[in-house]
Structure 1
Amino acid sequence: MHDNVNDKINQVTEDTLIIGIDIAKKKHYACAIDDRGRELQRAFSFKQSYQGFESFIQTVKDLKTKHQKAKVIIGFEATGHYWKNLAERLWDEQLLYVIVNPMHVKRSKEFEEQPVQK
């Protein structure tokens, strides 16, 4: 199991554009970061529609070029059934996506919100 975790971590390199998406019923929100967690693009929205997905894919391609990234990893929670259409479109476009465990997201938010002890 430990090797499996390391393999997943090693997928993210300096050449990787990471996109996190908050999936919702009508409109999704995405944010682009680099391998060190630096925000490369402020959060942006796109609709849960074919046109929205096309707009998102074009934005990803533009960000990849702008920031000279060779790879893209897109992550999101499997929220209801709303993620499935997006996943299918990403699959068709051969864009790598990962389903993120909601408990891990919750824990990472709790970690970030903790005040620094002096």
Structure 2
Amino acid sequence: MHAHCVVIEEDPDIRSLLSLALSRAGFKVTTESTGAAGVSTVAGDSDLELVTVDVALHDLQGNDVLHALRGVSQAPILVISARAEPVDRLTALESGASAYLTKPFRLRDLQDLVHTLAPAS
């Protein structure tokens, strides 16, 4: 049985890249393109091992998504965002993120963070 991960990312290319990388890391991956759909999917999964989310979503504010995710799941949340200012990282961590990775990112950095956050994968 594979660990389950939900990827919440609007950009279809990045969503596909994350899905492929996480699948290769041993996850069963579900992808969503909006914050609302992502929160709904996470809320329905009690066995979730990891959530990745881009906080620059068009339907919901990033911090609102993080607070909503924290309200429905204790799974680690990895924010993957183009926002690279220290205040963005700090705000995300204060809003419930477990870790923060800036775009563009190296796949090796993603793999290292994923294995730190969800070592059973």
Higher strand share: 1
**TM-score where L is the length of structure 2:** 0.41
> What TM-score do the two structures reach when normalised by structure 1?
0.41
